[in-house]
């Protein structure tokens, strides 16, 4: 049974979810604000949110019948019957409580009693993150079934992850950080959009009205191009505004597989062939986070 839950946690999704924390931490370090305790707890909190989201998605899509034989991706836990709905629901509750406790410790260590306003603000962000992770596919008004998943992924994987983690260190903001934060958000939405492009037909049959289902395959491709090229241009702008060394252009290496991926999407005629591209784009985003960060500090 533990192996079943580890599989359901979908650990392969963690690099993408950690990308925003990595960028925010590197930027904090570059500006002279950094604390290993905050960094470690922020990474653990993000892992908790991602695992919680994966469990909730498995449960939500499983009980609604969205995960069925028409689905192209890997078989889910509820879909295969290896985990029962009750067991998954219990796992969601336990993961949510543990993640909330870790987040609470993180916020307290960062702000303590000296910054109570920030403490309660981030406490609200933490609660909102847990609710968003659960409500993506669970419940009668799951926002992932109404085409709003892209907005939530952008806000939580991009802005909150990058800007929030930086603020945990610095207790202040440089508003140009919105540029790399937006870039990470766009790349993360790109992964979701690719997933939804792959599952477009099965989602439509299950009445899961993702943005791709709403706008159709052709416009979904154009949307994909805009997301990834937009991320590239915003990062380029940030580096130009903060230019100090050619090493800051290290991030360009990560966009080589990204642009190769774009060509694959452009040529694609069969949604099944998009499945391996998910891993490539997610790992390219993780590589981008590391290279961009290193470019700011070396």
pLDDT in tens, 65-109: 666 556 566 666 777 778 888 998 999 999 999 999 999 999 999
Q: Cα separation of 253 and 259, whole Å?
A: 11
Cα-only R_g, the chain: 19
Indicate the domain borders of the chain. 2-297
- pLDDT digit string, tens, across residues 258-269: 999 999 999 999
Q: With contact defined as beta carbons under 8 Å apart, do 227 and 157 qualify?
A: no
Phi–psi pair at 66, nearest 5 degrees: -70, -40
DSSP label of 154: I
Question: How far apart are alpha carbons 63 and 65 in whole angstroms?
Answer: 5
pLDDT digits (tens, 9 = 90+) for 193-221: 999 999 998 888 888 899 999 999 999 99
Question: For the whole model, what pTM was predicted?
Answer: 0.94
Q: What is the pLDDT of residues 284-293, one digit of tens each?
A: 999 999 999 9
Per-residue confidence (pLDDT) for residue 103, from 0 to 100: 97
């Amino acid at each position: 049974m533990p192996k079943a839950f580890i599989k359901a946690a979908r650990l392969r999704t963690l690099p993408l979810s950690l990308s925003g924390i990595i960028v925010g931490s590197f930027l904090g370090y570059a500006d002279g604000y950094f604390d290993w305790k905050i960094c470690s707890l922020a990474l653990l909190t993000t892992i908790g949110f991602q695992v919680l989201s994966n469990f909730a998605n498995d449960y939500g899509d499983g009980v609604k019948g969205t995960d069925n034989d028409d689905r192209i991706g890997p078989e889910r836990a509820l879909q295969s019957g290896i985990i029962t709905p009750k067991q998954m629901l219990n796992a969601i509750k336990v993961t949510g409580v543990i993640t909330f406790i870790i987040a609470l410790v993180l916020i307290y260590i960062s702000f303590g009693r000296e910054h109570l306003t920030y403490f309660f603000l981030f406490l609200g962000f933490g609660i909102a993150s847990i609710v968003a992770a659960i409500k993506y596919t669970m419940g009668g008004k799951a926002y992932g079934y109404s085409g709003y998943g892209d907005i939530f992924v952008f806000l939580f994987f991009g802005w909150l992850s990058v800007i929030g983690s930086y603020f945990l260190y610095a207790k202040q903001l440089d508003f140009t950080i919105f540029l790399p934060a937006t870039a990470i958000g766009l790349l993360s939405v790109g992964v979701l959009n690719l997933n939804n492009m792959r599952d477009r037909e099965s989602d439509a049959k299950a009445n899961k009205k993702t943005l791709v289902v709403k706008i159709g395959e052709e416009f979904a491709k154009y949307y994909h191009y805009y997301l990834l090229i937009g991320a590239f241009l915003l990062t380029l702008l940030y580096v130009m505004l903060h230019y100090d060394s050619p090493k800051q252009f290290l991030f360009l290496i990560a966009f080589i597989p990204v642009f190769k991926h774009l060509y694959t999407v452009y040529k694609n005629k069969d949604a099944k062939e998009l499945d391996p591209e998910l891993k490539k784009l997610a790992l390219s985003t993780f590589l981008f986070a590391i290279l961009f960060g290193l470019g700011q500090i070396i």
